[in-house]
Amino acid sequence: AQTVTQSQPEMSVQEAETVTLSCTYDTSESDYYLFWYKQPPSRQMILVIRQEAYKQQNATENRFSVNFQKAAKSFSLKISDSQLGDAAMYFCAYNGQNFVFGPGTRLSVLP
Amino acid sequence: SQTIHQWPATLVQPVGSPLSLECTVEGTSNPNLYWYRQAAGRGLQLLFYSVGIGQISSEVPQNLSASRPQDRQFILSSKKLLLSDSGFYLCAWSAQGRETQYFGPGTRLLVL
Q: Do A43 and B106 touch (CB under 8 A)?
A: yes
Using CB atoms, pick whichever of A32, A42, A45 lies closest to residue B90: A45
Each residue's pLDDT tens digit, A34-70: 999 999 998 999 999 999 999 989 999 999 999 999 9
User: What is the rounded distance in angstroms from the CA atom of residue B9 to the CA atom of residue A100?
Assistant: 25
Each residue's pLDDT tens digit, B24-74: 999 999 999 999 999 877 789 899 999 999 899 888 767 899 999 999 999
Each residue's pLDDT tens digit, A22-33: 999 999 988 899
* Residues in CB range of A31: below 8 A, 6 or more apart: A53, A54, A96, B98
For residue B102, pLDDT beyond 90: yes
pLDDT computed for residue B36 by the predictor: 94
Q: Do A103 and B42 touch (CB under 8 A)?
A: yes
Strands (E) in A6-103, as ranges, are: 10-14, 19-21, 24-26, 33-39, 46-52, 60-61, 64-69, 74-79, 88-95, 99-101
User: What is the rounded distance in angstroms from the CA atom of residue A54 to the CA atom of residue A69?
Assistant: 11
**Start-to-end Cα distance in chain A:** 41
For residue A72, pLDDT beyond 90: yes
The answer, for B44 touching chain A at a CB cutoff of 8 Å, is: yes
The answer, for B101 touching chain A at a CB cutoff of 8 Å, is: yes
